[in-house]
Structure 1
């Protein structure tokens, strides 16, 4: 488990050759290695550190964030490719099915790097849905070198010149959430990774993969457009468990289970992982809705 988390938290792409001077002036801040020894975190009632304490945003980056509101993208905005607004993936050392959703994301009126978040987490093993609130702070912005992407998406733009003027980026956000106070409620600290592009005159949009398996390991999000990873502290027991979720679970599952998908094209999950909560994956239980359908009995 320790090795897995260290590998996942280490995945990122460096600022590269794309001709976007804004991100080339990124502040150089040493990466902080997370503390992932659960027994020590439990004893201290602390969560592993995922970001350096110092500010990593330059003034041009702050101006960029003031010009471009990323609220809809952080919220996993629904479209024809991703009609489900939730993130799903794995929780704890046994990799049980875990879900999150951001019902509301609002950019702060005075700080363009800060977003206020409300949503819910779902622990499918215990069939437990917990509301949360907190903040998402943009901590890094880098150029994303993904050749040919904007040209491939040219039909989305009003002119070919727009695609040539566009740029692709990756944003890294620090997620700090508190679940509603009750027994075994949790505090969540995580990293949210967003691959997106900007074309003049249009709203920010996702960079993601349309091929049959929806995955590209060259992208920081593996092609799932967003990726969330971090840790949860149980405020009752002091236990710390890690999580990894994305809009497309097939983009992250191979890191844990090479045989998780029997047929990636059809999204068929291997029945041997039913005990982890995946036996009802296709039941369409909208657990994040205000009046969700009840969970079906096992």
Structure 2
């Protein structure tokens, strides 16, 4: 009799344990289902957000606004970097497939009196030891306005932030050896101010020039052979350098040009030798 009672008690304990285990398993499954459902909802939201079209940062200007920009404002001080001239009117860039350093100096930039889209440019280029005068033009063909609310109360004199695109054609003196034509596209980002002036706009998170402010991108074509070489130069060469040469800049606080590119003409970047005064100022 005692043995029978003992067996019945053991069976009841086993049933209780089974019931508790089943309940625990059920609770675990329910908790996992909640987590799964939560992750599913979160993933769905993320996928929904990712599928949304990105915020439109550039807006087309109206014909009247485009006309106002071209007629009322003179962009030549930006091309000349007039605030810090004359040494800052020298732009650095990359020339050829080896991306050797080239310097472009704008001696004068004037807006055409009859055509508000046209700017006349004279200057000189220096490639290695060759200094060559050039003359030509920039034609502004499009203007866009940044859709940004980052015009704070501290910038009450800012009317708007804009980007213009255009084309350039700069002809070197044909009589000089190894001369040719620079041609391509130009992009410039700037603000229009309430006092009818302009200045460069430093807003790296939305700009199209990678923070370089003004970029000339195209090719140089030889008069003699007709062969072309890629060329790009900018106001802020540090901003585009790393996209052209690997590790072009190094350092965090004190950014400098990588010494391994000294052989490509970047060994005297900080020297101000006023080379633009060392060659004829007029086209030959």
Question: Normalising by structure 2, what TM-score?
Answer: 0.72
Superposition deviation, residue 98 in structure 1:
1.0
Other-structure match for 1:194: 188
Other-structure match for 1:24: 61
Other-structure match for 2:104: 100
C-alpha contact (below 8 Å) 2:182/2:218 kept by paired residues: yes
Structure 1: distance between partners of 2:202 and 2:100: 26
Other-structure match for 2:199: 205
Structure 1: distance between partners of 2:188 and 2:56: 14
Superposition deviation, residue 120 in structure 1:
1.1
Alignment: residue pair count: 224
Relative CO higher for 1 or 2, CA cutoff 8 Å, sep ≥ 6?
A: 1
- Is it true that 1:116 corresponds to 2:120 in the alignment? yes
Give the helix-richer structure, 1 or 2.
2
Structure 2: distance between partners of 1:258 and 1:264: 16
Structure 1 residue ranges without an equivalent (≥5): 1-13, 26-57, 210-215, 293-298
What is the DSSP-based 3-state SS (H/G/I as helix, E as strand, rest coil) of the residue aligned with 1:252? helix
Other-structure match for 1:280: 268
Superposition deviation, residue 250 in structure 1:
0.8
Of the candidates 167, 172, 175, which is equivalent to residue 165 of structure 2? 172
Seen in structure 2, the aligned counterparts of structure 1 residues 200 and 78 have a Cα distance that, compared at 3 Å, is closer
What is the DSSP-based 3-state SS (H/G/I as helix, E as strand, rest coil) of the residue aligned with 2:83? coil
1:28-78 Cα distance to aligned partner (Å, 9 max, x none): xxxxxxxxxxxxxxxxxxxxxxxxxxxxxx464234311111111122323
Structure 2 residue ranges without an equivalent (≥5): 1-54, 280-284
Superposition deviation, residue 17 in structure 1:
6.5
Superposition deviation, residue 142 in structure 1:
0.5
- Is it true that 1:251 corresponds to 2:239 in the alignment? yes
Structure 1: distance between partners of 2:146 and 2:198: 14
Other-structure match for 1:61: 66
Other-structure match for 2:144: 142
Give the strand-richer structure, 1 or 2.
2
Structure 1: distance between partners of 2:148 and 2:245: 27
Other-structure match for 1:224: 212
- Is it true that 1:76 corresponds to 2:76 in the alignment? no
C-alpha contact (below 8 Å) 2:61/2:143 kept by paired residues: no
